[in-house]
Structure 1
Amino acid sequence: MKALRAATPYQDNNGQVPPRGVYSGPLFKLSHDWPTSPLPPIGKTPWQEAIGNGPITVENASAYAAVLKAAVADNAKQLIMRHDQWDAAKAGWYNEPWVGSLREAISGTYPAGTFGPSIFPGTGLRATFNTHVLTYYDKRAAYSLRDFWGESSMKPALKTEKAQFQEGAIIVKAALFASADPKVKADWWDAMAGAAAWSLYLPVGSESKPQVWPGYVAQFDIIVKDSQSSPTTGWVFMTLVYDKDAPGDVWDKMVPLGVQWGNDPQATSPDMPLKENWNNPKAPLYSTQTLGWGGRLTGPNDGGRNDIAVDGKVIRNAPNSSCMSCHSTAEWSTTSNRMNSFLLPSFATKAAPYFQLCNDQGKPDPNGTVICSPAPGSKEWMKWFQNRPGTEAMDPDSFAVDFDEVFSFKSLKLWWAAVGPVEQVAPMLMRTPAQGPRFNQYTGAPLPKAEDESR
């Protein structure tokens, strides 16, 4: 609580900096000199032209993906393959405010999720691992950060029209996997052989003292505001994953897992075909094992499968999300000062964590570790799988933040924790392990028990 109250919007890290005798390389520096005025209209883009300037479809999505990947290649190669030389400000890429209290000092990543071998069978995974993410906004997207957060980021403009991105805005996110076993530092997953490794400064396993630890770049997300190609939602989401068997350099080996541009609300059962989602049939095995509900796109970092309880029955590792269904919850209420719907299908509660938990018997339990969920395909479940534009919030008494979950689930939450009245903020903070279940710091979902107990 004290750390969050003392947080500042532009801090570089969580305050844990490696001694020079332990690490002598560069440290992460937040890039927040956002553009002060909107960029000129972008006109036709190469990725739009690649599909004939019409709508994106299952048939042409692979062509769109190839050109969109090429559009960010120069900067992405530098970021991924020569990370110790990466200068985001010089390259014209920017970070969000308020997340510094979560960032490790070397690479600027913040923790996301925890996964174990049982989720990735047949892939040579030999250790439970943690994931860590780092997000960048291009100049066109970063103007929206300035427009919403202002000069100081202390008084954001809490309204829908200020939280909208310009056409052509691009946001990228790198996801790294790091062993959670202090005895296994490297070579713990065959699928990551040859992947780019960044140095991270973080605690490992039960150790509280951080250490320099390698993280493999396994996933790279690219999302673009493109209302021409995706007129219903206004966005196209693409996930690249590392494929050790692909030809070329490390960037070439980041291959598409898939592309998504809508939630396919007509597909109310997993066996129905998807019209707004394309998955790469040549994607590596591990990346296909965490696809979301009905095969909708989610990367191995994204927490698209979770333990859920439906009508008193616990379902382990159930697909219950997708990239766009999760991001379509991006909203903020100025009345409750939080998101009124959780990222994943669930029943709302009035107390933190604001969604209902169940125990291993499938019964509601505030100390449970399973999400109490509506039945897949039900009306309540499908609330998360509707197509809404970025100007439309999922819930009443909320304003929409144009599919940007960093705004709503990270930055605004941390801003409010720092500036809101203590008596209002304290009950909203996630419970610690001593107070109840641990939570995935990226998705907010309960973390599983020990690997041998949870799957």
Structure 2
Amino acid sequence: MTGFRRRWLALPLLAVAAFGTVAATRAPAPVAAPRLPGTLPRFPDFGLLPAPEAFVPDRTFRLSQDYPKVLPPLEPALQRLLAIDYTRDWKAYAEATLAYVLAGNIENRDLQGTFFVEDNKVRPWYHVPWMHWADNGREGLHGLTPEGPIRVGSLGPQQKNIWQTYAVGFYNARGGHAIGRVWTDANRPDINALQRQGFPVGTVVAKILFTDAPVSEAPFLSNPIEWSAYIKKQFSFTPTGFPIAPRAVAPVRLIQIDIMVRDSRADATGGWVFGTFVYNGLQAKPRTPGQSFDNRWRNLMPVGLMWGQDPKVTSQLAGNPVPVKTLVNPDLKETVINSDPRLPPMHLGFGLRLNGPADNAISSCKSCHSVAEFPDISPVVPYAGSFDTRNLVCGGPEWMRWFRNEPVGQAFDAGARNFDNSLSLAMSVINFLDARSRADGGSNAVQYWQGRRQMTHGNQRGGGPDNSPCPPATGAIAAR
């Protein structure tokens, strides 16, 4: 769950056995109002799609932006989820969260029609605005934004080329209420909204990640869930967001789903529980009675769960960057990794903390999200722009700033505004100010807005530790 520059991060209950019939308990939350003909939404739906004369899709992405003005109550499905002890039954917690996310988003649809959240009849979901801007903006078919590269070997020794990842994230109604507090005024985002009051308990965030990596270089993507998306022809990064790199409509395959749950039982370690699922098409799961969705959605396997950073653990520093089997670090007490032998080999993250196959092998799910703040003073990984590079030692004090258990409501850097682990929401403000600065001709004004210099960092969401000072992992044990 890391990102290339903050601009690259967008940025994730069971009625029967996991991935059987998805529960259909309707949430007591507002339904998105239909748009009036001839009116424009407050925020653009997307930023990049071929001109209509060149390409006419059957359907385009619609930004869900009717954010609840009143905090919705905890629906029964959330109450059941928050009753599961994630430290004792982590898999039940993870699978219940995934079922909550899938419900209403995948039933009775072909694969291309899944996750148009405006069609969800079970519960509303909401997107973060202002992710459409510049070269890394939302594409218009499914609302995907670039996440970064998957470096050679990250998916296993058969991966010989660098590939891209794209993702779309969404928040449940309680999270949507918090987004609306930041964006009450579409022309003046409130950068203090989450500093005053963060996301409410019961917020659920999900992000679904796709890649253009072929099955030949990632066999676990066999029998894929594919979407068509308007993606870059090859991975690229432009620090200013311009010019726009060439794009084309191409197939992308589901590789990962990330989940986040605001859970008060995790307040001592930051307030959030993180989980990651990997797509494993090598399985052959039978359909369940009454199943109303494509069976391939049952191929998602939990990689693990984490609710803390284990800030004192500095063993197994570089993870498992070219995995042939999944290794685990027995020193970790706030991370649990799936021991199912069917799990594809995972590189995981720093010190073998939780991270997914599309993520950086020396970060972690919780680590990168902890730097969600405005301005974005620190990068998502330490080696991308530490203030103390001369003393940056893998696992040393400066490095371990990225692996603290920060108190709920505290920003990563002193003087910054906390965005409560929502990298995409922080990025939305940065994108808005970049666009406003360009429109107004205010050269560099945005970098000093509110008296703090905004940093510019290179992307490090995906792949291996190419520029990392960390040594290869030794002494870890295989997951069983």
If the TM-score is normalised by the length of the shorter chain, which range does it land in? Answer: 0.7 to 0.9
Answer yes or no: is 1:329 the counterpart of 2:371: yes
Distance 1:425 1:48, change over 3 A: closer
**Residue 38 of structure 1 corresponds to which residue in structure 2?**
71
Structure with the larger strand share: 1
User: Which of 426, 431, 441 in structure 2 is aligned with 1:414?
Assistant: 431
User: Which of 314, 318, 335 in structure 2 is aligned with 1:268?
Assistant: 314
Residues 149 and 235 of structure 2 are in contact (CA less than 8 Å); yes or no, is this contact kept in structure 1? Answer: no
**Residue 254 of structure 2 corresponds to which residue in structure 1?**
217
For residues 170 and 89 of structure 1, the distance between their equivalents in structure 2, rounded to whole angstroms, comes to 17
Distance 1:160 1:417, change over 3 A: same
Aligned length: 383
Q: Alpha-carbon deviation of 1:323?
A: 0.8
Answer yes or no: is 1:132 the counterpart of 2:166: yes
Structure 1 vs Structure 2: percent identity of aligned residues?
A: 26
Does 1 or 2 have the higher relative contact order (CA < 8 Å, sep 6+)?
Answer: 2
Answer yes or no: is 1:258 the counterpart of 2:304: yes
Structure 2 letter corresponding to 1:94:
Y
For residues 419 and 79 of structure 1, the distance between their equivalents in structure 2, rounded to whole angstroms, comes to 42
For residues 299 and 276 of structure 1, the distance between their equivalents in structure 2, rounded to whole angstroms, comes to 16
Structure 2 unpaired stretches of 5+: 1-6, 8-40, 237-244, 287-294, 317-328, 448-452, 468-480
Structure 2 letter corresponding to 1:328:
S
Q: Alpha-carbon deviation of 1:347?
A: 7.8
Distance 1:387 1:373, change over 3 A: same
Moved more, 31-40 or 246-255: 246-255
Answer yes or no: is 1:69 the counterpart of 2:98: yes
Q: What does 1:365-444 correspond to in 2, within 5 Å?
A: 374-408=392-426, 410-420=427-437, 421-425=442-446, 439-440=458-459, 443=461
Distance 1:284 1:446, change over 3 A: closer
For residues 195 and 18 of structure 1, the distance between their equivalents in structure 2, rounded to whole angstroms, comes to 29
Structure 2 letter corresponding to 1:322:
S
| Secondary structure at the counterpart of residue 119 of structure 1 | coil
**Residue 194 of structure 1 corresponds to which residue in structure 2?**
223
Distance 1:155 1:117, change over 3 A: closer
For residues 108 and 56 of structure 2, the distance between their equivalents in structure 1, rounded to whole angstroms, comes to 20
TM-score, structure 1 normalization: 0.75
Q: Alpha-carbon deviation of 1:230?
A: 5.3
**Residue 208 of structure 2 corresponds to which residue in structure 1?**
174
Structure 2 letter corresponding to 1:152:
A
Q: Alpha-carbon deviation of 1:232?
A: 3.0
Distance 1:400 1:186, change over 3 A: same
Query: CA RMSD, aligned part only?
Result: 3.3
Q: What does 1:275-314 correspond to in 2, within 5 Å?
A: 275-282=333-340, 288-289=346-347, 291-302=348-359, 304-305=360-361
For residues 399 and 465 of structure 2, the distance between their equivalents in structure 1, rounded to whole angstroms, comes to 21
For residues 125 and 272 of structure 1, the distance between their equivalents in structure 2, rounded to whole angstroms, comes to 28
**Residue 241 of structure 1 corresponds to which residue in structure 2?**
278
Structure 1 letter corresponding to 2:303:
L
For residues 446 and 87 of structure 1, the distance between their equivalents in structure 2, rounded to whole angstroms, comes to 32
For residues 283 and 326 of structure 1, the distance between their equivalents in structure 2, rounded to whole angstroms, comes to 28
Distance 1:430 1:445, change over 3 A: farther
| Secondary structure at the counterpart of residue 200 of structure 2 | coil
**Partner deviation per Cα, 1:306-327 (whole Å, 9 max, x = no partner):** xxxxxxxxxxxxx2x1111111
Distance 1:42 1:162, change over 3 A: farther
| Secondary structure at the counterpart of residue 251 of structure 1 | helix
Moved more, 106-115 or 410-419: 410-419
Answer yes or no: is 1:342 the counterpart of 2:379: yes
**Partner deviation per Cα, 1:377-434 (whole Å, 9 max, x = no partner):** 21111111111133011221112111111122x2122122123432334796859xxx
Moved more, 98-107 or 419-428: 419-428
Q: Alpha-carbon deviation of 1:49?
A: 2.6
